[in-house]
Chain A
Amino acid sequence: MRLPRFNYLGPDTLEDTLDLLAFHRDDAKILAGGTDLLVRMKKGLLKPNVLISLKALKDLSYIHEEDGYIKIGARTPLADITASDLIQKKACALFQACEKIGAITMQHYRGTIGGNILQDNRCHHYNQSDFHRSGRQPCHKDGGKICYARDEADRCNSTCQSDGATALMALGAEITLARKGGERTVDLANFYTTDGIMPFAMESHELLKEIIIPVKGAQSVYKRLAYRSAIDYPIVCAGVLLKPSKSQKNKIEDVRIVVGAMSRSPLFLVQESSSLKGKSLTDVDAFKKAADSSMNSASTFAVHNVGATLEYRCEMVSQMVFQALKEAAQKAIDVKG
């Protein structure tokens, strides 16, 4: 498969990159690792006139801890994250998520964490070759007015299958978006539109610059289900952050449950999360109840568009959340001894 034609620009500094983005706007796409973008371009899903490569922006590749926050440059390769002791110790869910993205020896050296968060939503009706799609009416994401995943849907129901985003949302991460003449920081949980066509609440001249993870003294776990681990995107995944109470022994102070690959964005389940506050770390029944409730909440958003049957995916939400909660609680108990 050939790539469509485009102009290649390789700016040397962040300022130049933002200038170019401000000039080209929708005409341009950012090329970091290319493991998602180039596949889409080969399939004719995207035809940008300009690719702006981040190859020279080595400054955007770093991991360090500062004032109680872990800061990660958006261009940091996944391999650097899985090799980082800091991430493994203090943001374990992100470590576990990055370890499971694609094939270790392949995507990890090219693929970046920023690219993983900003990978476009997927749907098995849409992510097909030009030839496949040419045989039928275009869907919402393809510029038409039909949804093949859900009958009579008035909008696109593509699914966000990013491992990194699910884990980061569970960790309560924020992201910094830079543009010419300024930047803004947004909570990852508020970064998503409910539109499958353009799932991210960012402008075309903005560039994801940094990921900021608060270090809360909490345990985090990421669980993922996929058919073939090295090739496939997750069909269900869950990230959990669990903070044990300092004053009360074996009690939970705070929990964040995030379910991924079930909707247009990762789902932060507020109700299920708060239901576990004040519960015991060994209260398996409460975990089971929260997990079942997560399944019900997530099921209302899901459509049958990422491979496995919808029923199976929904049931597995409960399993993923339950396992993640149990493992996080066990880790909290082990740490306290």
Chain B
Amino acid sequence: MEKIQITLNINDKPCDVMVSPNDTLLEVLRDELDLTGSKDACSEGICGSCTIHMDGKPVRSCLTLAMEAVGTKIKTVEGLANGDELSDLQQSFIDHGAVQCGFCTPGMLMSADALLKENPSPDDKTIRKALAGNICRCTGYAKIVDAVAHTGNPQDNCPDCLTSSKPYKIQGE
């Protein structure tokens, strides 16, 4: 089947790629554009590890065709940090030990980021509801919920917030 050239707006950059109609957005991101932050786990929209933002809303890239993403603004986990400085949410994940094996983390970050944009200080229940579609097989949910709740809102009674590391820099090549 012939490949078609499309332009995707990913992390505020236009990217020209050749895709087949049956390529999902996740396959294009990972295989064509080397944006391997979004993970391919269940491939059928259950686990949430492929979550990205389309026009600011979290969606599953494994169930979105690349062709359907033309004309939308796509943000992947690579677009969360500002240059080499991590976002508050990412920093909070590190501080709270919310990353274990790390496979669910990109999806968790994207779901949580969309939530925090809408509601900067969500309560526990709202966070759990927002993250309900993301599965963590290390079962580290409590730390993840803490990390989201304390983002930009450090708690005096939280040892993880008190011992927050210096702003973490992304290591260079």
User: Of the 9-residue stretches A104-112, A141-149, A171-179, A264-272, which lies at the interface with chain B?
Assistant: A104-112
Q: Are A106 and B45 in contact (CB under 8 A)?
A: yes
Q: Are A103 and B64 in contact (CB under 8 A)?
A: no
Contact assessment for B58 and A231 in the assembled complex, using a CB-CB cutoff below 8 Å = no
In the complex, the answer to whether A34 meets B63 with C-beta atoms within 8 Å is yes
Chain B residues with CB below 8 A from A110, complex form = 59-60, 63-64
- Whether A229 contacts B67 by the Cβ 8 Å rule is no
B57 interface contact, C-beta 8 A: yes
- Which residue on chain B has the smallest CB distance to residue A77? B57
B81 contacts the other chain (CB 8 A) = no
B63 touches A35 (CB 8 A): yes
Q: Which residue of chain B lies nearest to A41 when distances are taken between CB atoms in the complex?
A: B22
Contact of B21 among A8, A34, A39, A230 (CB under 8 A): A8
Decide if A55 touches B68 in the complex (CB within 8 Å).
yes
Set of chain B residues within 8 Å of A106, measured between Cβ atoms: 45, 48, 51, 58-60, 111, 133
Would you call A7 an interface residue if the criterion is a C-beta within 8 Å of the partner chain's C-beta atoms?
yes
Instruction: Indicate if the CB atoms of B133 and A104 lie closer than 8 Å.
Output: yes
Q: Report Cα–Cα, A97/B115, bound state, in Å.
A: 22
Interface status of B44 (Cβ within 8 A of chain A) = yes
A57 interfacial contact with B, CB 8 Å: no
Which chain A residue has the least Cβ–Cβ distance from B60?
A: A106
Are A104 and B132 in contact (CB-based, < 8 A)?
yes
In this assembly, does B94 line the interface, its C-beta being within 8 Å of a C-beta of chain A?
Answer: no
User: In this assembly, does B9 line the interface, its C-beta being within 8 Å of a C-beta of chain A?
Assistant: no
A38 beta carbon closer than 8 Å to chain B: yes
Say whether, besides A109-B58, A110-B59, A31 and B65 are in contact (CB < 8 Å).
yes
Given contacts A53-B67, A109-B59, A229-B132, contact A4 B114 (CB under 8 A): no
CB of B54 within 8 Å of the partner chain: yes
Is there a chain A Cβ closer than 8 Å to B1's Cβ? Answer: yes
Return chain B residues, CB-CB under 8 Å to A107. 45, 60, 133
**Known contacts A34-B63, A55-B68; is-contact A5 B20 (Cβ 8 Å):** yes
For residue A42, CB closer than 8 A to chain B, the reply is yes
- Chain A 100-140 interface 0/1 with B at a Cβ cutoff of 8 Å (1 = within): 00111111011000000000000000000000000000000
- Where the two chains meet, the residues of A that have a C-beta atom closer than 8 Å to any C-beta of B are 1-8, 10, 31, 34-35, 38-39, 42-43, 51, 53, 55, 79, 102-107, 109-110, 229-231
What are some 21 contacts across the A-B interface (CB < 8 A)? Answer: A3-B23, A6-B21, A8-B65, A10-B67, A31-B65, A31-B68, A34-B68, A35-B45, A38-B63, A39-B44, A102-B133, A104-B132, A105-B57, A105-B111, A105-B115, A105-B133, A106-B45, A106-B59, A107-B60, A109-B59, A229-B132
